[in-house]
Structure 1
């Protein structure tokens, strides 16, 4: 089947090829509504599909960005990706999504692959293990934005939650319900991932602020698949906590699973607060309290800034850390003096 060309569209619409080109590139400044309608009808009648590769070569732009997510299993990550896709679609950009699986080697391969495909920019949930590569993108003035994680010494915009405030508010929420024996569980801190470190710091600051004891046995940080071991140790203590903060969605899932397997009733025997976007929190019976991240707003703002950097690569836009505040989705939580103790 013969490929329909721009010349065919121009002939059918009774306009010049350059007018069709202006229409396809949305340059309507001097184009009448009747002309636009004729071109639109000609494109539909002929089934014309623009040659994206040819256009990219001409414009020296692919109208494509890459998104490298650290772990696509997090509901927060998938919501951010959805927002990025929505924003890019509204601006006629395509998105290639890659999952680094929290592995710096995999992340490096994806960055190199996307650079080879000449994507116009990237949004990265960085593993933190490719400093030289991050620096090289900055030095080349390549358009890149980080989400969720700060990499010290790398001058790139970052969009993330006010993590310290999130855990501070979680402690405050529990303290207001009469709890003083508060614990926290988080995935491993070994790689010093920003949200995990900041949420632990906020937890400790809040305990100090409210005059609550800091029990080292009430803090468990390890790989998610080993958190049940840490929880077992915590609740084998002579005096276990009456309340627990799960620092992200995967940690909260492990807490709920451990409680069920151990016969611990939530919230009558253990008050639980999560930090993250947790779809099952509201359908859990009774519902769980969570401090949710504004994932869609974060993804939208990150994409908007990246597209601005791509469009105005000659402008000097000083990178910043963009913080967002959590929102409490309150579930059922009895006062501590009404709780059953172990």
Structure 2
């Protein structure tokens, strides 16, 4: 069995001290002569040296790794947030492990336990809200954690969210401005732990009231994504169905568009449509789709900034804060 190549071997081959090689490996070579750098690089290459990351992380008491637990990786928003987190962490030499919890508390708990076992330095989580005691333990241990897209009542953890009520308000105001009075909304199951859903539905009701419009309970349909086609059929069997619809998120929007296509509805003549989440095909769909965009990349970057700050300042007691981001109306031709 071949003996592992060590820093000492590299130092000897390059004719420098072990600490000089260590500084080179940690990219602390601002004052290092170019010739020295080249000799170390050459020695590493010739000997086939590979740093022992586990040993280094034990020494530094940091694995330079974070975990990200998303509720559902199929959402455009989740994918964009992950990308922004990864970009920011990469610049800071942190690695990212991504987990998909499917909004299942048991799965979320398994992932948190797994990430802790792997000694990740902190976690960004889209919380299911079902592991309150576990979150409380993490807070008590001063473990670096940031909530994304959601809040959990009674848990003192900083959260990064959209101003969800404003997103619904922007949509309702756009419909009213164009003269629509029978306005409906389609949502996945309205679960109290899933902050964007409850806030967007509340925002929808408040916006109608603000515009002195009637809220028709029968125009608010919520259910599993797989059942949306059936829900839409029932919605349009009513004597006076809605003439405008707000899709609560990107996956709901896709289901509505499939129904519209099957029924050969004309948008916006038969049905006006706005979706929260700016889907990639919105500008090339016919007609182009009016959407309410979330600044997903900014939100992801903010979550990563917060987490890395907590990791680097573990001994500082930080007060938990909620960071709200502004939604943006992108007017196209579906209204």
**1:31 positional shift:** 3.6
Question: 3-state DSSP class of the match of 1:245?
Answer: strand
Partner residue, 2:303 = 302
Root-mean-square deviation over aligned CA pairs:
1.6
* 1:262 is the counterpart of 2:256: no
Q: 1:177 to 1:43 in 2, by over 3 A?
A: farther
**1:267 positional shift:** 1.9
**1:4 positional shift:** 3.0
Matches within 5 A, 1:13-28: 13-28=14-29
* Number of residue equivalences: 334
**1:115 positional shift:** 0.9
Question: Is the Cα–Cα contact under 8 Å of residues 177 and 333 in structure 1 kept in the other structure?
Answer: no
TM-score, length basis structure 2: 0.95
* 1:252 is the counterpart of 2:253: yes
Partner residue, 2:57 = 56
Partner residue, 2:85 = 84
Q: Aligned partners of 1:39 and 1:330: how far apart in 2?
A: 57
* 1:67 is the counterpart of 2:68: yes
Partner residue, 1:219 = 220
Question: Is the Cα–Cα contact under 8 Å of residues 69 and 100 in structure 1 kept in the other structure?
Answer: yes
Matches within 5 A, 1:238-249: 238-249=239-250
Q: Aligned partners of 1:185 and 1:35: how far apart in 2?
A: 64
Q: Aligned partners of 2:317 and 2:134: how far apart in 1?
A: 21
**1:37 positional shift:** 4.3
Q: Aligned partners of 1:333 and 1:224: how far apart in 2?
A: 22
Question: Is the Cα–Cα contact under 8 Å of residues 292 and 328 in structure 1 kept in the other structure?
Answer: yes
Question: 3-state DSSP class of the match of 1:159?
Answer: strand
Matches within 5 A, 1:184-333: 184-333=185-334
**1:44 positional shift:** 4.1
Q: Which moved more, 1:51-60 or 1:226-235?
A: 226-235
Partner residue, 2:180 = 179
Question: Is the Cα–Cα contact under 8 Å of residues 274 and 334 in structure 2 kept in the other structure?
Answer: no
TM-score, length basis structure 1: 0.93
* 1:157 is the counterpart of 2:158: yes
Question: Is the Cα–Cα contact under 8 Å of residues 192 and 198 in structure 2 kept in the other structure?
Answer: no
Q: Aligned partners of 2:179 and 2:14: how far apart in 1?
A: 74
**1:93 positional shift:** 1.1
Q: Aligned partners of 2:305 and 2:38: how far apart in 1?
A: 30
Question: 3-state DSSP class of the match of 2:281?
Answer: helix
Q: 1:13 to 1:277 in 2, by over 3 A?
A: farther
5+ residue gaps, structure 1, are 335-342
**1:41 positional shift:** 4.2
**1:279 positional shift:** 1.7
